[in-house]
Amino acid sequence: MNKVFNSLLRKILGGFYMTTTIIGFPRIGHHRELKFATEKYWRDQITQDELLKTAAQIRENHWKLQKEAGIELIPVGDFSFFDNLLDTANLLNVVPQRYKNLNLSPLDEYFAQARGYQKGEEAVKALPMKKWFNTNYHYIVPEFTKETKVKLVGAKLFAEVDEALKQGINAKAVVIGPYTLLKLSRFLGGKIAQDFIPDLVAAYSQIIERLGQKKVQWLQIDEPALCLDVTAAEKELFKELYSKILEPKHSVKILLQTYFGDIRDVYEEVAELSFEGIGLDFIEGSYNAELIAKNGFPTDKILFAGVVNGKNVWRNHYSATLELLKKLGTDAKVVLSSSTSLLHVPYSAADEDQLETGVKQHLAFASEKLTELKELDALYTKKAGSKQFLEKNDALFANVKHPYNPEVHEQSDNLKQSDYLRTPERKVRQQLQKKEFKLPILPTTTIGSFPQTRDVRQNRARLRKGEITRAEYDKFNEDKIARIIKIQEKLGLDVLVHGEYERNDMVEYFGEKLDGFVFTKNGWVQSYGSRGVKPPIIWGDISRTAPITVAASVFANHLTDKPIKGMLTGPVTIFNWSFPREDIAPKKTVTQIALALQAEVLDLEANDIKIIQIDEPALRENLPLRKSNWYKEYLDWAVPAFRLVHSKVQPTTQIHTHMCYSEFGDIIDAIDQLDADVISFEASRADFTLIDQLAAADFQTEVGPGVYDIHSPRIPSEKEIENLITQIIKKLPLEKIWINPDCGLKTRSEKESFASLEKIMEATKKIRSNV
């Protein structure tokens, strides 16, 4: 009865029914206008007014684009000058006093938190930055202290709502919710999340009230943290917050929006609370469909169904999506939505006219996804004439032809257990390697790159523009290598690198040299603040057609008697920092990349490169949100992929890896199981937590914790580094320790890099002579 009634109602109301929305739109602008304007503002080249005007123009364009594409409920407040969590913190007065003391304009105070502030004597460091759930986007970590007084002070959200309403936009206001805010923030001075409940409740209630006065229909409250593991205590926190926030009568409908996974730990609680809408991710959170099948979906609420993937670039397969919606079988009203904010995909695939039609027609970036939602809606509600969308879409999927490489399949289908196993065991190898290389105790090295100075980038640009020949380009880089080898020798480093002058980016460089990738011209995705990345797209089977890094490493090797460390990006990082295929399992693709890199490693070895570093800075970031899935959904294929790359080398060939963070305490075992001989990691800014954890876990891989903070322009004193090393050797076995700076020398000036390395060498020599 209910069903009949509902469908009848839908028919009668037809177009009046609001049926499509998205969680958020990329804000950097079609041609990264926001980036360029913001950076100009930071350099004092434009005024604040000019920046604000550019921002308003970007918002207007994006709202208009959504409206014209037929999106009925348009997110407002998803725009940000840097980061949405920082926006929310500022809306709620969660701004540390040291930034307020600077007496800046609200926007400058905001930027000071995001990127630090320095003027003359006055200097305040930026708030920390972390990866946003399982993405390559970074958020600014808010800070709650004894002084923090949560209250609604910000004007940005309301101003943007006014602006949208004035333009005739059917606005859905967007804000990050109190639960996620508390989960992602730092608490200092003995304060805990619970201390802030009453004030948060008051502030969010006030937001709802203010939006009600503006006659906004919907408020989307983002709570992605509900897709993490939720403990009993956290569940209580969530319930307490929302039972109170939702208590007063309100005219604005409240949408609880979740994404990046399912909400199995709180589904029942969410269903019971008096939200008017619940937003669920049916892509990464496919288990949400089972939750609905098991528990039903409250018919008095609207289901915002995230069915269009906000994190990948492929076209939606309509028949599969319609099947999913049918399976949900709910009587509740459904609004079609994206699975996450579209922040994680580029602006428009229409820009990519250099791609073959065979590839291009399968791409859906943010703009194309809007159309997909509209078409799906038409199909879902059986609008007249919608059939053709389905037919066209089915034809597209029937004809998709990912380049197939039979040899690669043959190779990966026939892998045996032993292909993942390096022999002899590491303990034995480490002894053999000591004899082979005869390095001093506390051997010194760097993480690979040296400063990419202007001339290096210019050389690359010249080649791209055809102003120089390939030979001229190579010659320039060889001269650079020769120079940096001399410099490293003079500094006294023990294991040398070639400097990575030939690399624009650690993933793109490899992607360009492997079969199976395609590249975009304008496929920028925000990484943090004004910074973007342009991830390659994995389109076909991956294989290596020619050696990639061998020439540069061999060239360097001929110039010195010291060992040269070859330098590769690992399979998991290449995979995680690309847009992956969806027609085959991630494990398959990553195995293909691993096999290609294995060939490269063996080639390096055959060419006398006896130390090889395989960087995996992105290994940690794709850990599933739920701990119980870490191994079965991810590490169980990620770790073997890494092992596959180096399993066939000689016992005396030394394999290094590198990770860009010092927070792998919770996956120490998995890192040790990579079976590398040495790992370096970014550590100089961290406390000694990880080192203590490594000691406690009896970590077998030799370790090089970074002793120089590359992110700071400050040159450390020899004494400082000496103290650091002294601490480290107290905690870890001396024969297992390497000395190196943090990663990213390429971002520093040569002067700073060399001066800092000099200090590192002085400190190391001093300690060597004392132990």
Beta-bridged to residue 118, according to DSSP, are 123
Among 30, 344, 558, 711, which one carries the catalytic annotation? 711
Kindly tell me which of 17 and 661 has the beta carbon lying closer to ligand GLN.
661
Q: Tell me the residue number closest to Zn ion, measured at CB.
A: 743
449 labelled as ligand-binding? yes
- Identify the residue among 26, 75, 346, 448 touching ligand GLN (CB under 6 A): 448
Q: Determine if the peptide bond prior to 580 is cis (ω within 30°).
A: no
User: Across the strands, what pairs with 310?
Assistant: none
Binding mask 257-296 for ligand GLN (x = CB under 6 A): ----------------------------------------
- Output 256 or 660, the one with its CB closest to ligand GLN: 660
Rg (CA), the chain: 27
**Both ends of the chain: CA-CA distance in Å?**
84
Interacting partner of 449 out of ligand GLN, Zn ion, none (Cβ under 5 to 8 A depending on kind): ligand GLN
Partner interacting with residue 332 (select from ligand GLN, Zn ion, none; CB below 5-8 Å by kind): none
Site string (449-488) toward ligand GLN, x via CB under 6 A: x---------------------------------------
Q: Which is nearer to Zn ion, 542 or 574 (CB)?
A: 574
Measured from the CB of residue 34, what is the shortest distance to ligand GLN in angstroms?
25
The answer on whether 621 is annotated among ligand-binding residues is yes
Decide if residue 447 touches ligand GLN (CB under 6 A): yes
What are phi and psi for residue 92, nearest 5 degrees?
-105, 15
Residue number with CB closer to Zn ion (77 or 617)? 617
H-type helices in 635-717, by residue range? 636-646, 668-673, 689-696
Between 340 and 680, name the residue whose CB sits nearer to ligand GLN.
680
Q: Binding residue per annotation — 136?
A: yes
Whole-angstrom distance, CA of residue 662 vs CA of residue 480: 31
Please indicate if the annotation marks 605 as binding a ligand. no
Are 668 and 694 contacting, i.e. CB atoms less than 8 angstroms apart?
yes
Q: How many Cα atoms are found within 13 Å in the side-chain-facing hemisphere of 262?
A: 15
Q: What is the DSSP letter of 631?
A: I
Q: In this structure, are residues 709 and 685 in contact, taking their beta carbons and an 8 Å threshold?
A: yes
376 or 447: CB nearest ligand GLN? 447
| Residue 346 partner contact from Zn ion, ligand GLN, none using kind-dependent CB cut-offs of 5 to 8 Å | none
Which one of the spans 33-41, 540-548, 707-715, 739-747 is the region binding ligand GLN (CB under 6 A)? 739-747
CA distance 675 to 670: 9
What are the structure tokens assigned to 515, written together? 């079969």
Instruction: List residues binding Zn ion (CB under 5 A).
Output: 617, 660, 743
Two structure tokens written together for 91? 């809306």
CB of 615 to ligand GLN, least distance (A): 5
What burial class does residue 190 get, using C-beta atoms within 10 Å of its C-beta: 0-12 exposed, 13-18 middle, 19+ buried? exposed
- Containing 144, the helix (H) or strand (E) segment is strand 143-144
The three-state secondary structure class of 635 is helix
Comparing CA positions, the residue from 585, 580, 614, 615 lying closest to residue 598 is 614
Q: Is 617 in the site for ligand GLN (CB under 6 A)?
A: yes
* Out of 648, 744, 765, 768, the residue judged to bind ligand GLN by CB under 6 A: 744
> To the nearest whole angstrom, how small is the minimum distance from the Cβ of residue 743 to ligand GLN?
3
Give me the residues paired with residue 659 across strands.
681
Q: Which residues of 734-745 are buried (b: 16+ CB within 10 A; e: fewer)?
A: eebbbbbbbbbb
Among Zn ion, ligand GLN, none, residue 704 binds (CB under 5-8 Å by kind): none
Residue in the structure block whose two tokens are 């946003």: 132
Q: Which residues contact 247 (CB under 8 A, 6 or more apart)?
A: none
Q: Is 109 marked as a binding-site residue?
A: no
Identify which of residues 492 and 744 has a Cβ nearer to ligand GLN in the complex.
744
Chosen residue from 161, 164, 496, 506 binding ligand GLN by CB under 6 A: 506
Residue number with CB closer to Zn ion (181 or 507):
507
**Rounded to 5°, angle at Cα 348 from 519 and 48:** 105
315 binds ligand GLN (CB under 6 A): no
Among 746, 753, 759, 767, the residue binding ligand GLN under the rule CB under 6 A is 746
C-alpha to C-alpha distance for 159 and 167, rounded to whole angstroms? 13
Torsion of CA 618, 500, 467, 749, to 10 degrees: 100
Count residues near ligand GLN (CB under 6 A): 12
Query: Does the annotation list 255 as a binding residue?
Result: no
The answer to whether 743 contacts ligand GLN (rule: CB under 6 A) is yes
* Closest distance of CB 186 from ligand GLN, Å: 24
CB 510 → ligand GLN: shortest distance, Å? 12
With respect to Zn ion, which residue has the nearer C-beta, 444 or 446?
446
Angle 636-646/586-606 helices, nearest 10 degrees?
20
Q: Please choose, out of 137-145, 515-523, 732-740, 741-749, the segment that lies near ligand GLN by the rule CB under 6 A.
A: 741-749
> Of Zn ion, ligand GLN, none, which one sits near residue 422, judging by CB under 5 to 8 A according to partner kind?
none
Q: Considering the complex, what minimum distance in angstroms separates the CB of residue 620 from Zn ion? A: 11
CB 172 within 8 A of CB 218: yes
Nearer to ligand GLN among residue 66 and residue 753 (C-beta): 753
Residue nearest to ligand GLN (CB): 448
Give the residue, chosen from 355, 567, 641, 721, that forms a contact with ligand GLN under the rule CB under 6 A: 567
- Choose the contact partner of 116 out of Zn ion, ligand GLN, none; CB within 5 to 8 A by kind: none
The yes-or-no answer on residue 711 being catalytic is yes
Rounded CA gap, 275 and 263, in Å?
Answer: 15
Q: Is residue 321 near ligand GLN by the rule CB under 6 A?
A: no
The position carrying tokens 């920046």 is 51
Run of H or E residues at 353? none
Least CB distance to Zn ion at residue 645 (A): 18
Separation CA 597–CA 646 (nearest Å): 9
Tokens of 67: 């409206």
- Smallest Cα–Cα separation from 18: which of 304, 252, 221, 325? 304
Residue 500 assigned ligand-binding role: yes
When CB distances are held under 5 to 8 angstroms depending on the partner's kind, the choice from ligand GLN, Zn ion, none that residue 739 binds is none
Q: How far is the CB of 680 from Zn ion (least distance, A)?
A: 8
- Closest to 221 measured CA to CA, from 239, 237, 242: 242
Closest CA to 184 of 124, 232, 144: 144
| C-alpha span between 305 and 334 (Å, rounded) | 7
C-alpha separations of 103 from 109, 435, 465, 721 in Å: 8, 61, 47, 36
Between CA 91 and CA 103 the distance in angstroms is 17
Which partner in Zn ion, ligand GLN, none is near 506 (CB below 5 to 8 A by kind)?
ligand GLN
CB distance 557 to 609 below 8 Å: yes
Helix (H) or strand (E) holding 115: helix 106-115
Nearer to Zn ion, 743 or 745 (CB): 743
Within positions 633 to 672, which residues make up the interface with ligand GLN, using CB under 6 A?
658, 660
The answer to whether 577 is annotated as binding is yes
CB of 550 to ligand GLN, least distance (A): 17
607 Cβ neighbours under 8 A, 6+ residues apart: 550, 553, 554, 557
Binder to ligand GLN among 83, 109, 615, 709 (CB under 6 A)? Answer: 615
Q: Check the annotation: does 447 bind a ligand.
A: yes
Write out the binding residues for L-methionine.
447-449, 500, 615
Interface positions with ligand GLN (CB under 6 A): 447-449, 506, 567, 615, 617, 658, 660, 743-744, 746
The residues annotated as belonging to the active site are 711
Write out the binding residues.
32-35, 131, 136, 447-449, 500, 577, 615, 621, 658, 660, 682, 743
Write out the binding residues for 5-methyltetrahydropteroyltri-L-glutamate.
32-35, 131, 136, 577, 621
Write out the binding residues for L-homocysteine.
447-449, 500, 615
